[in-house]
Structure 1
Amino acid sequence: MEPHLEASSTATPEPEDTAPPLAARLPPAILSRVFELLHDDSKRETSLEWIKTSHVCRHWRTQALGHKLLWASLNPVILSRGLLDVFLERSEGVPLAVFVDVISDCDDWTIRQAYKMVLTTQLHRVRSLAYAPSVAPWPVPTAEELVPLLKQPAPLLQALLLPGFKRSKFLYREARTLLTFLLEHAPNIQELELTQFPPQCFPWGSPPAAMRTLVLSADSSVEGTSTLTFSLLLEGLGAMPALQTLSLSGVIPKDVSGTHVHDIVHLPHLQKLRLSGSGEQYARLWYHLKTHRECAVRIEIVRSPTFPAILPAALARHYAECDVSSSDELFVKRNTAYGLAYDLYPIGQPPDECTPPSHPYTHPSVSLFVAWENRKEAAPELPAVQIFAATPISNIKILAVAAVDAERIEPERFIAFGPLVGAIEDLTLVAYRPSQLSSMFLILGGTLSPGSSHEGDKVPMPHLRSITLKQCRFDRDIAGPTLLDVLERRAQFGVMLNVLSFVDCGLDPGRAEELEVDFVKSGLIQCIRCDGDSVGVSPV
């Protein structure tokens, strides 16, 4: 065996007969752990560097050879160097973890044949078959090449992660193969992530009961072509009560007939939910799901003819059944006549948009994105009013509102929920133009609130102590006078600001000094900061 490994590694020394005193005294349990850590690091880098460490001495080498789990991970480096038989022999009967990634300077034919050998002769031993999270260029072999090989029993298989590289409409044959494999040969699978494969790839009528993670994603080329019904989808989800992560993108049927709004699917362990696609059916599915009380939710309705009428009810149901006591920070990313997006999460812990759906759960949050085509004019029906009325924003302490859309943001879309955010302590406005800033300042002063009389009315957000303007166009003619009026009005009610910050607003030093005179030295505010640096601090 050693000659094979010597050929596969550069300058790997022969094990010494005598070991250094400390190395010779290390017990097997500690040595095994050392090898496991080195092995895991090398696996992440798709290398075999950990093998060199086992050559420190014969004592170490003996322990490494006897640690079967170290030899049960198969990656393209191992297969490209002709070490498949070596690893299969040394791992003995330990379940195999098969990993596909892109490596350079290897023969494609050799790699393909090695993976084919594993899946045709060792599938009964495979515990996981997964591709690297991001593989570019295409790996060898592609998932489309491996799927036809999945025809044998895989009783130990727990994880199957296959990213298709063709468009979904070209993968119907592979989808049928996957369906048969999951139905007949993989009874114990717990983690399934299939990207680009059509919805027909999953056995919704008889899903694996042990499923913990289910990620299915298809592109728009197969929308409306699936035979999957909404009622069958609900039944299938109900048959997987152990689900902890669920992500469905482009696979939910549009026709929701045959289901009743009172049909609820109980998924008590579901802590990560992501639904993404076009149409109201994504909001409808969310409405039917009862999840874990600390579920992290991401809903992305990228296009809908009209505002999904059931979305506010789905929001209200989720917030009523989940623990949102720690969700004190809200970032409104978009609020226009044609769309709304926000994130609600614990302070300082925004959801990471770049993590894959199967990434481990961290904390509860709600990330919402919805876009519709037909604008609603009547104020009581404004989608923003409905959504914020269903959102528990009364305890929010940190609020950020972005204005990145081309059209002007009308103040009335904020007035409706302004009185509900009375606990706000920190407010950030992002990418506002002068007219937009002026409107928001008027709201903060209470002059645009319904029924405000300017005499005796309390100002909104009485606990507000900090305002940050980020990437905003702050001018002296429009936004400046309005802000001064707001600060004076708030001072009358004893709810003064502590800090006003300008971040990437392009203020020159002269303008900053003027603001210090207008606001700090006049006693309306304690401190002004520009790009994080204090400009003025009022005396204590």
Structure 2
Amino acid sequence: MIFLYFPAIPTACVQRPNTTLPNQGAIPDLTWLHVTHVCRRWRSISLGCPIIWTSISFKPPCSTPRFLERARQAPLDIDVDWKRDGSRHYIDDVVALALEHLSHTRLVRLSNPPAGFVERMVAAFGQQGADLLEHLHLSNVEEQKITLGASISTIELPDRLFARPTSRLRRLIMNGRFRITWRSQLFASHLTHLCLAISDSASVPTMDELLSCLRACPLEVLLLHGCLPRHATQTPVVPLPDGHPFVDIPTLRVIRLSDLAVNVANLLRRLHIPADCRVELGNQHEPHSASAATTEALATEVDHVLSRSSYASQDLSLQVMQYRPYNCTWTLSKLKTESSGSSGDASGYLIGPRSFTLTLESQMRPTTFEEHIRNTNTFSGALIRISPLYHLGSVRILSIQALNPLLITRESWVVLLRELRRLEIIQVSGHCSYTFGLAFALLAPDQQIAPYLRQIDIRHAHFGYPLGPSGLSIQLENAFHMRNEVGALRPNVEFWNCRISPAQLFQVETALGGRVLVTGDPETWGVGDNANDADLEG
């Protein structure tokens, strides 16, 4: 039957694991199949198939009773977003009508309910059992951000939200302003997906409450944002005593934790994570807290994740990306030898899905010069501290992008390059290109440095910067000359979106002993853009 192939909510979207936080990666709306005329036989067949009508429509409201009637006792999907589906009270009554059918509802997804509807929603939940409910998604973001009207208050959910235990509930997603205790019947022992981004501080669990829940549930996806047990921000995360029990979650496929760095580390170190689990850690740093506590928390996280044996024996790709001055992301991926589920790299390598992503972000945007310096020192110190923990001896591809010239110094590059014994491909973008040139030239006479290096990509760099003998062009010339003298492997070299004069390019190619591929229009991220920088073109 054709209707079964064109549901309002595609089966693939409903069944696939929700591996994003509730406010990210939303599935785009798909249109309904609009039928204007049907024959009697078609009408008879469609009315005789309740499953066609189970994705309840609230637009227009007059269609909702028809859907409920025609679905009969088939499991329902109640999915409504007041921002998406109408003005604030346009659909309240028909949504309340749909909620009277919780006894045969499989999915409830309620987003941005108006303040006047919340009491009706909680009452409807409490008066019925939800014996078939498998997926509960409640979202209550700041109302002033999405529509006109007064700010909505926090929704308080009772511990006994439904009349009977929800024995089939597998996926619980809550996003926004909710108040809930960890004694709630929702935190039952059968959850496979737990995704919480709750802004109410009173809902933050104790460590014992959270670990008790994690220990009991066969979780496959765990996403916690801003609601981790609290740890003193000025106090470093000290090692756990020998023999301290870990919480084992053998079914876990995806874990994403986002909070202050010390809170993330304090929870993560208590969990035993499967070797093939994808790990994403979002660490926030308070501007006035101790940088050392944040840095050591990051080191605890990296050491805990990478202690899994599968990383030490793998060929790896490491990316260190600074997309904004107030954040930095480390991404570790395993390199694949086959193309199944992998993305191809221009070098011919196949990069597998991200295995481990760690982000450090300043909780407040720096506004003064002193705050910028303090931020820079925090990020630079974190890079020096944790980058050597990334099994650099197994890294084949390294990509580093920096918007801040002080993120990675020459000395930091020297430490990294000495450890990257199997490095084959290096990609540097932006301000880190200049310190890379200095370190690369310094280490060029050493035959033990990057003996397998076969590809160098430099992007968004000005080859006349800095002025004088430290300029990037001169440093690369010196490095290529010295590597040729010691018989090092000659790499392929590409410059992307760089500013380089014909004379500089000729000198680099002469030192290299081969051609350099130059691609794209110059975009050097501010270097050389001012009139005072005209000398850089020399």
**TM > 0.5 fold call:** yes
Which letter maps to 2:506?
V
Unaligned runs of 5+ in 1: 1-30, 133-137, 352-361, 449-453, 534-540
2:319 to 327, 331, 334: 331
Partner of 1:181, secondary structure, is: coil
Q: Structure 1 length as normaliser, TM-score?
A: 0.73
Which of 332, 343, 348 matches 2:331? 343
Distance 1:202 1:249 in 2: 16
Contact conserved, 2:464 with 2:472, CA < 8 A, in 1? yes
Taking structure 1 as reference, are residues 206 and 94 closer, same or farther at Cα in structure 2, changes over 3 Å only?
A: closer
CA apart distance, 1:104: 7.7
Counterpart of 1:410 in structure 2: which amino acid?
Answer: T
CA RMSD, 1 decimal: 4.0
Distance 2:464 2:359 in 1: 31
2:104 to 116, 125, 141: 125
1:340-379 matches, within 5 Å, as 340-346=328-334, 363-370=353-360
Query: Is the 2:319–2:332 contact (alpha carbons within 8 Å) kept by the matching residues of 1?
Result: yes
- Structure 1 counterpart of 2:69: 89
Out of 480, 487, 491, the position equivalent to 1:494 is 487
Q: Distance in 1 between matches of 2:396 and 2:116?
A: 48
1:195 aligns to 2:195 (yes or no): no
Residues 198-235 of structure 1, C-alpha deviations (whole Å, 9 max, x = no match): 4635437982111111111133xx44x45631122112
Q: Specify the alignment match of 2:17 in structure 1.
A: none
How far off its partner does 1:302 sit? 1.1
Q: 1:458 aligns with which of 447, 453, 469?
A: 447
Shift of 1:496: 4.0
Query: In the alignment, is the contact (CA less than 8 A) between 1:327 and 1:344 conserved in 2?
Result: no
Query: Match of 2:252?
Result: 270
Letter in 1 for 2:414: I
Deviation at 1:264, TM superposition (A): 0.8
Q: Which moved more, 1:40-49 or 1:83-92?
A: 40-49
1:517 aligns with 2:512: no
Q: 1:332 to 1:82 in 2, by over 3 A?
A: same
Structure 1 residue 244 displacement after superposition: 0.8
Q: Which letter does structure 2 place at the counterpart of 1:150?
A: F
2:246 partner amino acid:
I
Deviation at 1:91, TM superposition (A): 1.6
Q: Distance in 2 between matches of 1:350 and 1:140?
A: 43
Alpha-carbon contact 2:299-2:386 (below 8 Å) kept:
yes
Task: Tell me if structure 2 keeps the 8 A contact 1:68–1:90.
Answer: yes
CA distance in structure 2 between the aligned counterparts of 1:471 and 1:72, rounded to whole angstroms: 53
Match of 1:248 in 2: 224
Q: State whether residues 147 and 174 of structure 1, in contact with CA within 8 Å, keep that contact through their aligned partners in structure 2.
A: no
Question: Are the structure 2 counterparts of residues 408 and 124 from structure 1 closer, same or farther at C-alpha, using a change threshold of 3 Å?
Answer: closer
Alignment of 1:48-447 (within 5 A): 48-52=32-36, 56-77=38-59, 80-101=60-81, 109-119=89-99, 121-131=100-110, 144=118, 146-151=121-126, 152-166=128-142, 174-177=155-158, 179-181=159-161, 184-198=164-178, 200-203=180-183, 207-219=187-199, 222-223=200-201, 225-226=202-203, 228-240=205-217, 242-255=218-231, 260=240, 262-304=244-286, 305-306=289-290, 307-308=293-294, 309-321=296-308, 323-324=310-311, 328-334=316-322, 340-346=328-334, 363-370=353-360, 382-405=381-404, 407=406, 409-432=408-431, 436-447=432-443
* Structure whose CA Rg is larger: 1
* Change in CA separation of 1:211 and 1:444 when aligned onto 2, cut-off 3 Å: same
Judging changes above 3 Å, is the alpha-carbon distance between structure 1 residues 312 and 167 closer, same or farther for their aligned structure 2 residues? farther
Secondary structure of the corresponding residue to residue 177 of structure 2: coil
> Given that residues 220 and 251 in structure 2 are in contact (C-alpha distance below 8 angstroms), is that contact kept between their aligned partners in structure 1?
yes
Provide the rounded CA distance (Å) in 1 between the counterparts of 2:342 and 2:153.
38
**Does the 8 Å contact 2:399/2:428 carry over to 1?**
yes
Note if contact 2:402-2:429 (Cα within 8 Å) is conserved in structure 1.
yes
- Report the Cα distance in structure 1 between the residues aligned to 2:90 and 2:374, rounded to whole angstroms: 58
Deviation at 1:275? 0.8
Q: Aligned partners of 1:298, 1:42: CA distance in 2, in Å?
A: 28
Look up the SS of the partner of 1:39 in the other structure. coil
Q: Which runs of 5+ in 2 are unaligned?
A: 12-27, 145-150, 344-351, 363-370, 523-538
Give the Cα separation in 2 of the matches to 1:344 and 1:376. 24
Question: Kindly tell me: are residues 103 and 273 of structure 1, through their superposed partners in 2, closer, same or farther at Cα, counting changes over 3 Å?
Answer: closer
Distance 1:143 1:247 in 2: 28
* SS in structure 1 at match of 2:91: helix
On the 8 A contact 1:283/1:311 being kept in 2, the answer is yes
Residues 143 and 503 of structure 1: CA distance in aligned 2, closer, same or farther (over 3 Å): farther
1:103/1:369 Cα in 2 relative to 1: closer, same or farther (>3 Å)?
A: closer
Code of the residue aligned with 2:207 in structure 1: it is: F
Secondary structure of 1:365's counterpart equals strand
Structure 1 pair 522/271, CA: closer, same or farther in 2 (3 Å)? Answer: same
Shift of 1:184: 4.8
Deviation at 1:522, TM superposition (A): 5.0
Identity %: 19
CA distance in 1, matches of 2:494, 2:487: 20
Q: Is the 8 A contact 2:75 2:132 kept in 1?
A: yes
Q: Supply the distance in 1 between the matched residues of 2:462 and 2:512 (Cα, whole angstroms).
A: 24
Shift in Å, 1:461: 1.7
Comparing 522-531 with 412-421, which one deviates more in the overlay?
522-531
The size of the alignment, in residue pairs, is 460
Task: Select 1:483's aligned residue among 472, 476, 480.
Answer: 476
- Partner AA of 1:149 in structure 2: A
Greater CA drift, 516-525 or 210-219: 516-525
SS at match of 1:270: coil
Inter-partner Cα distance in structure 1 for 2:203 and 2:83: 36
Amino acid of the residue matched to residue 501 of structure 1? Answer: E
Bigger shift: residues 467-476 or 403-412: 403-412
Give the CA deviation at 1:316: 2.3
Structure 2 CA distance for partners of 1:259 and 1:397, relative to 1, 3 Å:
closer
Supply the distance in 2 between the matched residues of 1:385 and 1:196 (Cα, whole angstroms): 36
Quote the residue 1:39 is aligned against: 7
- Post-superposition shift, 1:102? 5.2
Give secondary structure in 1 for the equivalent of 2:285: strand
